[in-house]
Amino acid sequence: MYPLKRNRRLRANEAIRSLVRETIISPNDFVVPLFVVEGKGVKEEIASMPNYYRYSLDLLEKEVKELWKLGLKSVLLFVKVPDNLKDNKGTEAINPNGLMQRAIKAVKNACPEMLVMTDVALDPYSIYGHDGIIEGGKVINDDTVDVLTEMSVSHAEAGADIVAPSDMMDGRILSIREALEEDGYVDTGIMSYSAKYASAFYGPFRDALDSAPVDAKEIPKDKKSYQMDYANRFEAIRETEMDIDEGADIVMVKPGLCYLDIVREIKNEVDVPVAVYQVSGEYSMLKAAAEKGWLDHDAVMMEQVTAIKRAGADIIASYFAKDVVKLIS
């Protein structure tokens, strides 16, 4: 007559629900992306990312101290490079006194224990807004890898704990690992954006850094010749396994929400920590809907980050990190 099992018993009230909950979000889950600009006393809101800011170095120091107090112990740095310092080859990327190199030192100065991760790709430095060097209408792989390798060593030299190549060139992990070893940076880690899809969700980020591909003759209009086709699944495994073989300490799937099937698949496949980047468009989408009163911001935010972790993320890079931690503490 009756069901043999009544699953609703374990959902009856918050006490029992919290007892059987499988996925718990904590400050330890997060990496906080931070945007850095030149200047002093600058904290400017990114138009397409409400309540997210670019900081000059002095205010960056203040921000990381606050993050540390909230229990957020890792940051991922991105720089907005002045136009006059951009070229095709990313020359400024390897300037030992460049904005990124100074930002790494500023964070370490403000908060010595903060784990500093750095973005490694040419797009913020490229006059064309591409992650690599352009020749003959194409993003060329191997010369780009050479610059990314020098860039990584330069970040390690400035004090970065982990370099995070986000460019999707072939062979860059091996090249970077070898160079770090050769130069004595044996403790500098690599978090590889292994399965990074050519996604329209990166739009607000490109506003934040003024790094969108330019619309010009002989310049690829999009990043589809290096970032992955979102129709593909096996390719993500191939990319990820290659990066691990080449020496990646942490692998990443990016973006988050639309790619949770990939996250689970990778998590089942590999034995290194898996990071997920909940990207700018995912952030902006919720902010916009919440502003309109169409979605409950905090509830949807928690549902999203919990789903990302449940799918298999050991690490979540998210613009929501601070909001989440304030909410749960």
Residues that bind ligand PBG (CB under 6 A): 119, 121, 123, 131, 166-167, 202, 205-206, 223, 279-280
Q: How far is the CB of 52 from ligand PBG (least distance, A)?
A: 10
Q: How far is the CB of 286 from ligand PBG (least distance, A)?
A: 13
Nearest CA-CA partner of 304 in 329, 280, 283: 283
Q: Which of 89, 108, 196, 287 is the catalytic position?
A: 196
Nearest CA-CA partner of 205 in 284, 99, 103: 284
Q: Which of 89, 254, 267, 322 is the catalytic position?
A: 254
Query: Binding site for Mg(2+): what residues are annotated?
Result: 239
Helices (H), ranges, 159-279: 172-182, 203-209, 234-246, 260-269
Main-chain dihedrals φ then ψ at residue 32, nearest 5 degrees: -100, 115
Q: Which two tokens stand for residue 298?
A: 């905090």
Q: Which is nearer to ligand PBG, 148 or 156 (CB)?
A: 148
267 among known catalytic residues: no
Query: Binding site: what residues are annotated?
Result: 239
Q: Which is nearer to ligand PBG, 122 or 266 (CB)?
A: 122
254 among known catalytic residues: yes
d(CA 190, CA 186): 11
Q: Which two tokens stand for residue 94?
A: 């390897």
Q: How far is the CB of 16 from ligand PBG (least distance, A)?
A: 38
CA distances from 215 to 9, 203, 274 (A): 59, 15, 35
Q: How far is the CB of 128 from ligand PBG (least distance, A)?
A: 12
Q: Is 32 helix (H, G, I), strand (E, B) or coil?
A: strand
Phi-psi region of 90 (alpha: psi -120 to 50; beta: other; left: phi over 0): left
Main-chain dihedrals φ then ψ at residue 80, nearest 5 degrees: -100, 115
Q: Which is nearer to ligand PBG, 146 or 207 (CB)?
A: 207
Q: Which is nearer to ligand PBG, 110 or 176 (CB)?
A: 176
Q: How far is the CB of 78 from ligand PBG (least distance, A)?
A: 7
For residue 156, the tally of other CB atoms under 10 A from its CB is: 24
Main-chain dihedrals φ then ψ at residue 119, nearest 5 degrees: -75, 130
Residue with tokens 């991922």, as numbered in its chain: 76
Q: Which is nearer to ligand PBG, 110 or 147 (CB)?
A: 147
What residues act catalytically? 196, 254
